[in-house]
Structure 1
Amino acid sequence: MNYQTYQPHPDLEAIVKFYWTLEVPFDKNNEKQKIIPDGCVEMTFNFADGIKRYVSDAEYVVHPCAMVMGQRTKSYFIEPLGDVDSFAICFYPYGFANFVNTPLADLVDLEIPIENLFEADPSNELIHQMVHAADTQERIKIIEAFLLSILHERTTIDSIVKSTVDSLIATKGSAAISTILKEDLSKRRKLERQFKNQIGISPKQLGRVIRLQTALNMMLKDAEKLTNVAYESDYFDQAHFIRDFKEFTGVTPGEFLGNEQMALSSLFYRS
């Protein structure tokens, strides 16, 4: 697997977390890979063969060649049909809402063709340019021109949503929403509604995903400290950590490490 990340233009760095590319030659012996929620929305372009997402042990759907992947509330398996050559934009949790009118709650756990979210002509032209670009740097220039043209026409994200997400990220997902709102619980209902519209999931759900990210990153950096991860990630105790981890990934922390079906997620989280 050849996985690379790239930083966005300064005008987009508050909205776009990074760009990434992934190249994987086809090998019939490759294991299907489990993808774990990361709290971000992604726009992905697949330039080689298709990628299937399993909806059950035997059933699957094939990803659109150019799509937006909404917030995830659960893990899922993917498997390439051949070679993989992908380019993606990873948006901060509040990032993608700056570019579309569609409520992000409508995108949760789905892959949406980009022509369903943007006007047809610009979408088709974007896909054409991305497919025929000479290299990654040219693709970055193309996608940034597309995003900036839309961003300049729209208002930015609600400040209460952004400040809540920033607080969750700063506290690694452990901040209580009542604390973030400074005990002003009258704002909670409004925040929940705005979160569903502009993030896709609730503040509590996002906090759980961010805390899982923190734990995964710690595990992958130093597997020997597995017993300390629960406490350093602000879980109540080891049992709470294992229960949450298994709910999101389908396996225990110990089973995750060294699992060939987790190799891609391990690569993403380690980076």
Structure 2
Amino acid sequence: MTPDLDYETRQPEADLASIVESFWRLQTGAVVDKPILLLPDGRIDVLFSYSPTEPLQVMLMGLGTQAEHTILAAETVIYAVSLRLLGAEYLLHTRVADILNSARPLPANFWGITPADLTSFDHFCARLSTELPKLLSPAIDARRQRLFELLYATEGALPVHELAAGAGWSSRQINRYFQEYFGLSLKTYCAILRFRASFPQLKAGRLFPEQAFADQAHFIREVRKFAGVRPKDLARNEDDRFIQFSAWPAL
């Protein structure tokens, strides 16, 4: 990261891995507000944030389908939990279709987190690693489990009919579930996962498709659709404006 952005991340313990993708912390510098673009990345985020001028705020971020302009105020601190999609139903116990490309405020004491829990990233991760398993539904539907295992293992590369066959769940039922819970189709979600899977190669300066894109033209169209720029512009990432791309570890 750059001097005006400090970022760290941690993977969950095995008992949370099918629900929680990662814990992370982001802190901006003290000089100026930073304009950024949030990219679609296939995750649902619970954000705990504060700054010298704002008290603790908790937000649930739904899935994104397009790059979103926003401003990070100077000296903002964000602690977050990035969830896999099963987290909506089996941890949050809510649908997020109504917050596609938007967010929903949560209570300031959500999950029992207080400002004292946001002074140490180690403490934050340890606290939620203990508390979140207590909130999980006792059993995940086997079809949903198989579907998401396939989705994440293949990074959205399989067509819908193959995912449905692998999960033992009809395409029509899957798409109804995705629309009702997440506000988009399975096909669109697969495209978002393919787009996100291209981050490492683009960060390394490799501008040709290495995932399941039909050809170079298809790759360019998909990157433009989700990032608003061509692959070479995303790879250049001037001023670290694409914040998730900036945070992605270098190869």
Query: What's the CA shift for 1:10?
Result: 3.0
Number of residue pairs matched by the alignment: 244
The one-letter code sitting in structure 2 at the alignment partner of 1:136 is F
Long gaps (5+) in structure 1: 52-62
- Aligned equivalent of 2:112: 126
User: Residues 143 and 167 of structure 2 are in contact (CA less than 8 Å); yes or no, is this contact kept in structure 1?
Assistant: no
Q: What SS does structure 2 have at the residue aligned with 1:14? A: coil
Q: 1:31 to 1:253 in 2, by over 3 A?
A: farther
Q: 1:179 to 1:85 in 2, by over 3 A?
A: same
Q: 1:71 to 1:215 in 2, by over 3 A?
A: same
Q: What SS does structure 2 have at the residue aligned with 1:99? A: helix
- Aligned equivalent of 2:43: 40
User: Residues 161 and 194 of structure 1 are in contact (CA less than 8 Å); yes or no, is this contact kept in structure 2?
Assistant: no
User: Residues 36 and 265 of structure 1 are in contact (CA less than 8 Å); yes or no, is this contact kept in structure 2?
Assistant: yes
User: Residues 38 and 242 of structure 2 are in contact (CA less than 8 Å); yes or no, is this contact kept in structure 1?
Assistant: no
> How many Å separate the matches in 1 of 2:169 and 2:104?
34
Q: How does 1:171-250 map to 2 (within 5 A)?
A: 171-182=154-165, 187-220=170-203, 222-223=204-205, 225-226=206-207, 229-230=208-209, 232-250=210-228
Q: 1:185 to 1:167 in 2, by over 3 A?
A: closer
- Aligned equivalent of 2:102: 110
State the 4+ residue runs in structure 1 displaced beyond 4 angstroms.
183-186
Q: What SS does structure 2 have at the residue aligned with 1:45? A: strand
> How many Å separate the matches in 2 of 1:50 and 1:242?
41
Under a length normalisation based on structure 2, what TM-score does the superposition of the two structures give?
0.85
Aligned residues: CA RMSD: 2.7
Q: Deviations over 1:125-163 (max 9, x none)?
A: 724x2x113412222233334422321xx2444332332
Query: What's the CA shift for 1:178?
Result: 0.7
Q: 1:31 to 1:139 in 2, by over 3 A?
A: closer
Q: Deviations over 1:39-84 (max 9, x none)?
A: 0101011132579xxxxxxxxxxx9811111111111012122212
Q: 1:33 to 1:108 in 2, by over 3 A?
A: same
- Aligned equivalent of 2:241: 262
Long gaps (5+) in structure 2: none
User: Residues 19 and 87 of structure 2 are in contact (CA less than 8 Å); yes or no, is this contact kept in structure 1?
Assistant: yes
> How many Å separate the matches in 2 of 1:143 and 1:203?
29
> How many Å separate the matches in 2 of 1:97 and 1:66?
19
- Aligned equivalent of 1:148: 133
The one-letter code sitting in structure 1 at the alignment partner of 2:60 is V
Q: 1:75 to 1:150 in 2, by over 3 A?
A: same
> How many Å separate the matches in 2 of 1:188 and 1:174?
16
Under a length normalisation based on structure 1, what TM-score does the superposition of the two structures give?
0.80
Q: 1:140 to 1:157 in 2, by over 3 A?
A: same
Q: 1:64 to 1:78 in 2, by over 3 A?
A: farther
Q: Deviations over 1:158-203 (max 9, x none)?
A: 3323322222222221201111223999812111122234444321
Q: Does 1:24 align with 2:3?
A: no
